[in-house]
Chains A and B, each alone.
Chain A
Amino acid sequence: MSDTILRENSAVRRAPDSYRAHGRPAWQRVLFTRESAIIGLLVVVILVALATVRNFDSPLTVTYLLLDVAPILLIALPMTLIIVSEEIDLSVASTVGLSSVIVGILTQAGLPFEATALVALFVGVIAGALNGFLITVVGLPSLAVTIGTLALFRGIAVGLLGTTAITDFPEFWTDLAQSRIPGTPVPSIVIPIVVLAVAFAILLHFTSFGRGIYAIGLNKEAAAFSGVHVDRTKFLLFVSSGLVSAFAGIFFTLRFGNARGDNAIGLELSIIAAVLLGGVSIFGGRGAIHGVIAGVLLIGTLGSALRLANVTSDVINVITGVLLVLSVVSTSVLRWVRSKRLGSAGKSRKEVPASSG
């Protein structure tokens, strides 16, 4: 008994709760996580689709699927870190639209495309820094701030370009955005995505900066007392979100050959949905990059397979919606059931590190 408690305590002291299940065999620790469940589900969906959906097994499916989810995959990476730190960024899709418009207007004005892309990335950084400033320095909640900047950035984007579209981009770049890695059906955009995913995964899972993010999400005060630079961390996360969103906006523009103020409208919801499906807790402190990638791919694959099976888009929305609600609700319900069984000792998962640390 005392041995169990000791082990439990030492596990708790290591903070992130994915480590708390110490004392189980390694295979159990790997297998019984939400991330594994989502990856497993992704595999099941792919296998079922391969077996039953006509034309799903074509190289084109791989290409289109990855091109479609690329902007979501990209932005989901910083979004994961932000939600783990118990914040949210609703302004990402508006930043995509703004970056699209800036690329369009400057290209039309005759600037070389490379320069316009740099300006767009810079504007993304500024947008993220504005969010970060209002959240960390002024001390406003990120939900309120980014609802505001969602409207603000979108307003600027639509205001700059009106209802017109700019469609004349250098062919080299539009071709590049849709090109495939030679000899494979995999789009080239996957290369920067993999690089960014690895970078964000290392940052979150293998650095003290990343452990700080979990600590902030679990308990901000405790994290601050333990020497985590809470505000600096959050500020950097929002800047990275703005930067990656601007990059996604440039890709989006090139892929559709189309700069419009209303580009990617509503995309923030798909991104947040995929992140939550991937096992990130909306209450912060829990989640992993590989789970999020699986979550994004799961929604993308499901949509692609159902479209191929001629399922109408409203039915697809219902299916993915129910999947999301269930995946989020199931964790909450089970945590509630567990807390009932444990009584006040286990009332909140988030209190554990604070009370024992």
Chain B
Amino acid sequence: MFSQRIRRGRSVTALAAVAVSVALVATGCAGGNGNGDGDGDGGGDGELSITFLPKNLGNPYFDTSNAGGEEAIDEFGGTYSEVGPSEASPTSQVSFIQTAAQQGVGALVISANDPEAICDALNEARDAGVKVVTFDSDTNPECRDLFINQATAEGIAKVQVDMIAEQIGDAGQIAILSASANATNQNAWIKIMEEELAANHPNIELVETVYGDDDDQTSFDKTAALLQTYPDLKGIISPTTVGITAAARYLSTSEYKGTVALTGLGTPNQMREYVEDGTVTEFALWNPGDLGYLAAYGAKALIEGDITGEEGDTFDAGRLGEYTVEADATVLLGDPFRFNADNIGDFDF
């Protein structure tokens, strides 16, 4: 009797486990399959199926850039899809690269979490016939067909000098609030800014460069100190999104609001309230929507064989016009984009 019951219990367990799991898998696969069929029609070799693979999903910056990609792909009648890991780690991007290779998509547009770690996977995908376009963050040049560069160091430096010059009437004392003293990109920009000031803006005096270490509180305190030390200060340039936000927060509640100009690199969502309350007139970054849009057109040109990534190749990029491939298979989006009260409402990132 005892054993009978146990036996029945065990087989019921096993059968129930099978039944439940099969039902689950069946529904799971059916759902997935419907999705696959829908995308599958436009997919396959040689067609304009383009997969966007951001650093991670649920990131407003990439939501904006990928929306730009989708807009372009809709324009030229390709198939857009977006996949990606939930956390921005290089190893988690690899399985999505592999999946794109297995699916035989036309092109993969990716922002790399690591310049090296995904190289092997990308090259395997290219061997399988997938064109690889990097945007936002590049890999080593030998791992991809094209890099869509959002901005050059020269462009970033020049736009910031131009903005501060316009805002303070091309004369007076200014200071720079940078990230950390050993940040490679920041230091490169600052060096070019100094050269640009010396060459073209003789009446602007750069009194000091201070470092907020990309820490909100430190940047806030350094801003306060700058204003105490230099009572005649006319403007501050902060080429870091953390620094410019902290400086704007200080200025917006101080007597200097509206009298000391602040500009630099920031994101619309962080800077919106300071533009709206008059603390900040104009700041810059690139337009991620345009970046994704251009990357999609670059992918199309590669798939259709219009370009191969050779220097001097040209391709059409819809509403952005014609672009030329530069050295190292790089395409430059253009000058940084200036955000001000007129356009900041159009952006959400």
Contacts and interface: CB of A to CB of B under 8 A. Distances in A.
Given A37-B18, A174-B120, A256-B90, A48 B25 contact: yes
A54 B103 contact: yes
Interface in A138-185: 165, 167, 174, 178
- Nearest 3 A-B pairs (CB), nearest first? A309-B32, A309-B36, A258-B117
Contacts, number: 187
B2 A345 contact: yes
Contacts of B119: 257
Interface of A: 1, 4-5, 7-8, 11, 20-21, 23-24, 28, 31-34, 36-38, 40-41, 44-45, 48-49, 52-56, 58, 60-61, 64, 68, 165, 167, 174, 178, 252, 256-258, 260, 262-265, 302-315, 317, 319, 322-323, 326-327, 330-331, 334-335, 337-338, 341-342, 345-346
Q: How large is the interface on B (under 10, 10 to 19, 20 to 34, 35 or more residues)?
A: 35 or more
Interface in B5-57: 5-7, 9-18, 20-22, 24-26, 28-33, 35-36, 39-40, 43, 57
A24 B18 CA distance: 20
Interface stretch (B62-70, B92-100, B180-188, B276-284): B92-100
B228 interface: no
Contacts of B85: 313
10 contacts: A1-B1, A31-B14, A37-B15, A54-B43, A256-B117, A306-B32, A310-B32, A326-B20, A331-B13, A346-B2
A275 B305 CA distance: 48
A8 B101 contact: no
A32 B95 contact: no
Given A64-B98, A167-B116, A308 B103 contact: yes
Given A257-B120, A302-B28, 16 more contacts: A4-B4, A8-B2, A20-B6, A41-B22, A44-B25, A53-B36, A165-B116, A167-B117, A256-B94, A305-B32, A307-B96, A309-B36, A310-B32, A319-B28, A334-B16, A346-B5
Contacts of A327: 17, 20-21
A61 B20 contact: no
A262 B91 CA distance: 10
A322 B102 CA distance: 27
B241 interface: no
Interface in B101-126: 101-104, 114, 116-120
A11 B311 CA distance: 77
B272 to A, nearest CB: 29
A257 B43 CA distance: 31
B79 to A, nearest CB: 10
A270 to B, nearest CB: 12
Interface centre among A7, A61, A306 (most CB of B within 10 A): A306
A32 B114 CA distance: 47
Given A323-B21, A330-B20, A338-B5, A52 B29 contact: yes
A25 to B, nearest CB: 11
Contacts of B5: 338, 341-342, 346
B3 interface: yes
B84 interface: yes
Contact of A32 (B10, B32, B94): B10
A104 to B, nearest CB: 12
Contacts of A5: 2
Interface string B115-154: 0111110000000100000000000000000000000000
Nearest to B94: A256
B81 interface: yes
Given A34-B14, A54-B40, A327-B17, A307 B99 contact: yes
Nearest to B85: A313
B89 interface: yes
Contact of B120 (A24, A178, A263): A178
B302 to A, nearest CB: 21
A28 B4 CA distance: 13
A189 to B, nearest CB: 14
A55 B104 contact: yes
B13 A34 contact: yes
A325 to B, nearest CB: 10
B113 to A, nearest CB: 10
A266 B103 CA distance: 28
Given A64-B102, A68-B95, A330-B13, A4 B3 contact: yes
Given A54-B36, A174-B120, A265-B89, A32 B15 contact: yes
Contacts of B35: 309-311
B317 interface: no
A41 to B, nearest CB: 5
Nearest to B8: A338
B200 interface: no
Contacts of A314: 57, 86
A246 to B, nearest CB: 17
